[in-house]
Structure 1
């Protein structure tokens, strides 16, 4: 690249005009000559990651930052230059949108197989929504964005949907015996599924603020069987209720033989709507605070290490196998020995040959348990 393609920057900032960008690269093509002493302006709900020679060297939180070797000390080591170096530096800056991205849709593109102990193999469709946010800016850029000039919700929404559907298939295979147990349990299923999917997203520097299952839909004939069984259960309960009312009426008539049970009113004052009113009110979301992923203690904003246990908070790279935080130049994981360039391979079903996401427990195509 010749010098005619270089951009000389003294003020580095980014305005999010679209509201759908997760990451934005400056400059959008090539590298820029960034002058020492340049001003890096990071606005609310933003973070910035400084890249030199293709690797992340530091991250910045909200505020105005003057770029010098004093606040990016790792460059002194990388460049082998004395403290106070002032010549322009060819580099890039990624801005990250740290806000919560709400109401992202997930759902089954094709029906997934579920083995029901009473109905046999059933093809299910499911859909819902989820809310995500970036929690590790450098890890997010390194694992998902790469060298793209812009990374939007549209670039990741389908992949997020695949992860949720795969984990839902595993969850149903482990926790649910029959579809007759689905009604009334969506809230519990959503909460437990959120914990599972959160572990997947952390590998990419993403946090899952919430996840909801709106519906799990079986084929029409299976839905009819579920409805028929529900009606049977209702009639069983109505029979018990009728017996109870009859017994109460007889008892009251015996206590008041002269009145012959007159004045016995079969209407009931249903108080349930008032009793349950508070249960359905929206609970305000707890304010999101930064916590150490190792010891769980609340840490000061923009901390690079946990003041309680020393765990590295700013994650630049992470082992895909064991989740160990890695240094930028690490070629092997010091914890499990896995090469850092290794990427998880799809898990192939021995029954039908379908390729599932890594770590899947059940096949999305045939419902067979994966080895």
Structure 2
């Protein structure tokens, strides 16, 4: 028997391990006498027989199945290997690490908003963290009928319910429909709690959820950018002071920014000064014209109605028409 025992030996391990796989099933293979079980870091191994869990092993290392594994199995603890026969069992390897998965809305979500009959179309994206939290539920709901389970399948399940959860928590926590990012933390917290309850139904726990960004229609974005630029121009003095302070704190790069902003403000000030000068010149010309008109009117008022020399009526002339006497 010693001559042939080596040819029946094999290794039970997670073949072709992938970081994006949540579990992988070693099945349809006969475990022979002398076989080894290898559990790597971040893995659990679950022995199953006829669809029933026989034992769960969580310590990493290499183990002799006959002497170190079988004695701890529920119904197979007394199993004896024969010379040319082995034990048929399934071994489910679980990836115990925490996964980080990106998500994004497939289509815009129409959030009810005042003045918009069809609602505000909003998209969002971010990421969430998850891990296996219940082996029994995962086996019952998923592993019993699948050879492996990937994070893409988790993402599909999450995205399928995400639109409703986003709408629910945006309406609950969104104080300003045009500045949802300010409330992103509270929105994400509510979604994580609801999503965790949903995913626990398949043995997966949601340990974290984040909304990285909300995006609005292009027209709304342009309006927001225009409003922001108008606000900056209206408060250019404060913006320049900030840039200069930033330049002093951050060296040449900040100084360059401050210099650019100071130059822009100087240009605006010079333009304003030129406008003031032009307006002052026009005002001066208008004042001179008015003075001339008033002088003429005053001159006309000083001419006597009759010549003081000969008594002839002057009719507003500067000299008497009869004797030539100067009247002004």
Same fold per superposition (TM over 0.5): yes
Match of 1:94 among 70, 79, 92: 92
The more displaced of 33-42 and 207-216 is 33-42
TM-score (norm 2): 0.58
What is aligned with 2:13? 13
CA gap of 1:33–1:207, structure 2 versus 1, over 3 A, is: same
| Match of residue 269 from structure 1 | 245
By how many angstroms is 1:179 displaced? 1.2
1:70 corresponds in structure 2 to 71
Match of 1:85 in 2: 79
Q: Which residue pairs with 1:42 in the alignment?
A: 39
1:115 aligned to which of 112, 124, 133: 112
Cα distance in 1 for partners of 2:72, 2:249 equals 59
Change in 2 beyond 3 A, CA 1:17/1:53? closer
Who is 1:22 aligned against? Answer: 22
Aligned alpha-carbon RMSD (Å): 3.7
Q: Aligned in 2, Cα 1:69/1:146: closer, same or farther, shift over 3 Å?
A: closer
Q: How many pairs were matched up?
A: 234
Q: Return the alpha-carbon distance in structure 2 between the equivalents of residues 266 and 157 of structure 1.
A: 44
Distance in 2 (alpha carbons) for counterparts of 1:266 and 1:18: 50
C-alpha distance 9-189 of structure 1, shift in aligned 2 (>3 A): farther
Match of residue 206 from structure 1: 204
Tell me which residue corresponds to 1:218: 216
> 1:276-315, aligned counterparts within 5 Å?
none
Hey, which of these two has a bigger chunk of helix by percent?
A: 2
Task: State how far apart, in whole Å, the 2-side matches of 1:190 and 1:269 are.
Answer: 36
| CA distance in structure 1 between the aligned counterparts of 2:47 and 2:158, rounded to whole angstroms | 27
Matches within 5 A, 1:237-248: 238=235
1:300-339 equivalences in 2 (<5 Å): none
Indicate the residue corresponding to 2:130 in structure 1.
132
What is the Cα deviation at residue 106 of structure 1?
1.0
In structure 2, relative to structure 1, the CA distance for the partners of 1:204 and 1:232 (3 Å cut) is farther
Q: Which protein shows a greater Rg? A: 2
The corresponding residue for 1:344 is none
1:62-108 CA-to-partner distances (Å, cap 9, x unmatched) read: 33445455312x326xxxxxx63325443211112222333x22111
Q: Between the two structures, name the one with larger relative contact order (CA 8 Å, sep ≥ 6).
A: 1
Partner of 2:295: none
Unaligned ranges ≥5, structure 2:
1-7, 251-328
Contact 1:49/1:138 (8 A) holds in 2: no
Following superposition, the deviation at residue 273 of structure 1 comes to: 8.0
Give the deviation of 1:130 after TM superposition.
2.5
Against the structure 1 CA distance between its residues 271 and 193, is the aligned structure 2 distance closer, same or farther, given a 3 Å change threshold? farther
The CA deviation at 1:271 is: 9.9
CA distance in 1, matches of 2:242, 2:190: 43
Aligned to 2:276: none
